[in-house]
């Protein structure tokens, strides 16, 4: 991996880091929000779901823009809006106000991740993209492990608004960093200059692209809804400490980092589709194990059980993170920006819907969460044969 390729991914990582911190840094505050903002547990979960929802919509908007306009300009202005929204979140005095401001924050945060696939896809062939994506994913994955620790400390010393002030500072520093980095210009549009709606419609008609990207989104969502529900389940419902949640998060992230970095080598040795399939099976095993504990031995639920049952989940997602992205993008034609936006829209949109659907049932325990994870993993696995089956007109680009 050359220094030039790494520097190509660096600005995307910095932008993605800002948007990731907006949620991961703030997770330890979820159990206390109902009290400090005169709301309830469902409202606190909605501050997570609404971020994912508008973040998903932003993927489509910024993904379409990435095929037509200067990407550094898009990133700079979106980060500026993100910084303003983050500062406003820190000043929110009610749960409703925070939910509204998180919606704005989520949309502004979308540009960094929407542009990532287009930028990384241009770095080289499938092998290079898989390795680069896995490394970038690993860099990003350190944040969810570190951010709750930092967030818990900030909240204990300065109060929950300090997490948003910290994100505001990071966003401003990232804007300055962008000015010293060179990003590739947007590729020229198609000769017939299709509109964004036409580009997305073309992608929706690509069977193999849609099969891989929807399967990948379901795999991602199955883990995300667990992570979003964990603070409430562990701290409020099961009576454990915030430290227990942070330790669980750090352990699972460490495992993900290890297996995400193995994905490139495994792809070279076994083939990309076999690695993706192995990841899907591993996640299915995890979902069934978690549901089994919830139904048969609910008294076992706690940080250790959460870790043990979710290990196959993060291992599977580690296997799939780079290969799944690279395989889907191989079938998008020359609409790389729009394809990246659509992929992130699907993943984040599903995460928003999943988080919101599960939220009202968390007060009763983890059953709804476990059932949702099993359903998501099962559909993800069943979609792979459709995606992997060759057909006319859908050869890799």
* Mean pLDDT of the residues in the chain: 82
Does residue 317 have a pLDDT over 80?
yes
Going by pLDDT thresholds of 50, 70 and 90, the confidence category of residue 322 is confident
Q: How confident is the model over 170-210, as pLDDT tens digits?
A: 888 888 877 765 555 555 555 555 677 777 788 888 888 89
CB 42 within 8 A of CB 368: no
Describe the chain by its helix, strand, coil percentages, rounded to 5: 85, 0, 15
Q: Which residues, 6 or more positions from 383, have their beta carbon under 8 angstroms from its beta carbon?
A: 211, 214, 215, 218
Measured CA to CA in angstroms, residue 18 lies from 14, 50, 76, 315 at distances of: 6, 17, 12, 25
Superfamily of domain 11-185+194-388: MFS general substrate transporter like domains (1.20.1250.20)
Q: Taking a C-beta distance cutoff of 8 angstroms, is the pair 71, 346 a contact? A: no
Sorting pLDDT into bands at 50, 70 and 90, what band is 390? Answer: confident
- Model pLDDT for residues 95-109, shown as the tens digit of each residue: 999 999 999 999 998
pLDDT reading at 345 higher than 60: yes
pLDDT digits (tens, 9 = 90+) for 124-151: 555 555 555 655 665 666 676 678 888 8
pLDDT for position 311: 95
Lowest mean pLDDT across 233-242, 280-289, 328-337 = 328-337
Sequence spans of domains, the chain: 11-185+194-388
The pLDDT-based confidence of 1 (bands split at 50, 70, 90) is very low
Name the band, by pLDDT with cuts 50, 70 and 90, for residue 60.
confident
What average pLDDT score do residues 153-171 get? 91
């Amino acid at each position: 991996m050359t220094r030039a390729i790494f520097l190509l991914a660096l600005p995307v990582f910095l932008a993605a880091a800002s948007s990731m911190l907006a949620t991961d840094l703030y997770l330890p505050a979820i159990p206390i929000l109902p009290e400090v903002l005169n709301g309830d547990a469902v409202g606190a979960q909605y501050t997570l779901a609404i971020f994912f929802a508008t973040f998903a919509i932003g993927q489509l908007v910024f993904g379409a823009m990435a095929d037509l306009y200067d990407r550094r300009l898009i990133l700079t202005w979106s980060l500026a809006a993100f910084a303003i929204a983050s500062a406003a979140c820190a000043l929110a005095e009610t749960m409703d106000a925070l939910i509204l401001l998180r919606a704005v924050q989520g949309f502004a945060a979308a540009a960094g991740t929407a542009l990532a696939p287009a930028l990384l896809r241009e770095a080289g062939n499938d092998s290079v993209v898989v390795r680069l994506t896995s490394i970038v994913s690993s860099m990003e994955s350190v944040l969810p492990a570190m951010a709750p620790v930092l967030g818990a400390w900030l909240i204990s010393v300065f109060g929950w608004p300090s997490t948003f002030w910290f994100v505001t500072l990071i966003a401003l520093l990232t804007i300055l960093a962008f000015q010293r980095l060179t990003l590739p210009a947007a590729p020229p549009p198609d000769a017939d200059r299709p509109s964004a709606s036409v580009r997305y419609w073309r992608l929706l008609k690509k069977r193999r692209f849609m099969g891989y990207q929807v399967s990948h989104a379901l795999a991602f969502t199955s883990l995300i809804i667990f992570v979003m529900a964990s603070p409430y389940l562990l701290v409020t419902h099961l009576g454990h400490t915030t430290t227990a949640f942070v330790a669980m998060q750090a352990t699972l992230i460490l495992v993900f980092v290890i297996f995400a970095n193995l994905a490139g080598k495994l792809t070279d040795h076994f083939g990309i589709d076999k690695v993706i399939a192995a990841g899907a099976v591993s996640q299915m095993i995890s979902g069934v194990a978690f549901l089994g504990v919830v139904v048969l031995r609910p008294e076992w639920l706690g940080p250790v059980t959460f870790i043990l049952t979710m290990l196959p989940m993060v291992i599977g997602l580690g296997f799939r993170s780079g290969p799944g992205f690279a395989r889907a993008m191989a079938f998008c034609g020359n609409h790389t920006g729009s394809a990246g936006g659509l992929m992130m829209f699907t993943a984040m949109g599903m995460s928003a819907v999943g988080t919101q659907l599960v939220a009202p049932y968390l007060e009763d325990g983890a059953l709804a969460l476990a059932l949702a994870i099993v359903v998501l993993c099962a559909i993800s696995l069943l979609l792979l044969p459709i995606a992997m089956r060759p057909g006319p007109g859908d050869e890799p680009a």
